[in-house]
Amino acid sequence: MTSTRTFLYAFVAAALGACGDGGKPPPAADVAPDTAAPVAPAPAPAAEGSADGITARAMLDEALAEAQKWAPDAELAGVATSLADGPRHAFWFYDVQSRARGACTRIRALASGRVENVGTGEECVLMKPVATGFVDSPQAWDAARAAGFDPGDSAQFGLRFQRDEALPQARECWVLWSDADGDEATGLTRGWCVDPASGQFVARLSGKGRQEPLR
């Protein structure tokens, strides 16, 4: 189990770039009732937020705005989180790239509402960008679970351009996988590809593939 989990961490790092750590979900906010005395309005909760964390799209706009501060031509190259016990989590990573700089960085969004650039911003191999209109993590989760995905103790999420022997051609995938999808003997991890445009399950991946670089 330990070696499989270690492989999964290495897989995430290789596929998605620099890494960061997580955060804690925010406390629930109470809305004050209408009374005679003036009451300060309660802050609005983050979109799609809950006591269990946030979804992948909950703070996407804020993450992209932070990416624009880093580079005006920033493109979304991937979305990821790890050790999630469901479709919501305490943090999400947004990997972005700049063609002008030939560089990549990573934006981290926490359920507390904090968004920060935690990447290196160094030169990298540019990837095909993913569309920002992707279906949210709960839809990807439900589709993979319906197809047979077993999250076990924790699941990994990765939205990226994927090339795999199980796919007729390279395409965008929400890829989900867990310890149960790793094969220690072969070193392969067979994730579950969900179409980020429709939210439909596409294929059980072979694990024999890589991200497709820009041409």
User: Mean pLDDT of residues grouped by 10 in the chain (215 residues)?
Assistant: 41 40 36 36 40 92 98 98 97 98 98 97 94 98 98 96 93 96 92 98 91 60
Phi, psi of 64 (to 5 degrees): -70, -35
| Residue 30 covered by a domain | no
Q: Where are the alpha helices (DSSP H) in 88-193?
A: 137-147
| Residue 66 covered by a domain | yes
Per DSSP bridges, beta strands 192-194 and 91-98 are unpaired
| Residue 192 covered by a domain | yes
Question: Are 90 and 100 a contacting pair, CB within 8 Å?
Answer: no
Closest CA to 66 of 99, 105, 120: 105
| Residue 94 covered by a domain | yes
| Residue 32 covered by a domain | no
Task: Report pLDDT for 20.
Answer: 39
Task: Report pLDDT for 215.
Answer: 55
Give the SS3 label for residue 135: coil
Task: Report pLDDT for 52.
Answer: 82
Whole-number Å distance between alpha carbons of 118 and 66: 11
- With vertex at residue 20, the alpha carbon angle to CA 17 and CA 104, rounded to the nearest 5 degrees, is 35
Question: Are 68 and 55 a contacting pair, CB within 8 Å?
Answer: no
For the chain, what is the domain count? 1
Give the SS3 label for residue 57: coil
| Residue 23 covered by a domain | no
Domain that holds residue 72: 2-18+47-210
| Residue 111 covered by a domain | yes
DSSP conformation class of 90: S
Whole-number Å distance between alpha carbons of 24 and 165: 38
| Residue 38 covered by a domain | no
Task: Report pLDDT for 19.
Answer: 38
Question: Are 90 and 110 a contacting pair, CB within 8 Å?
Answer: yes
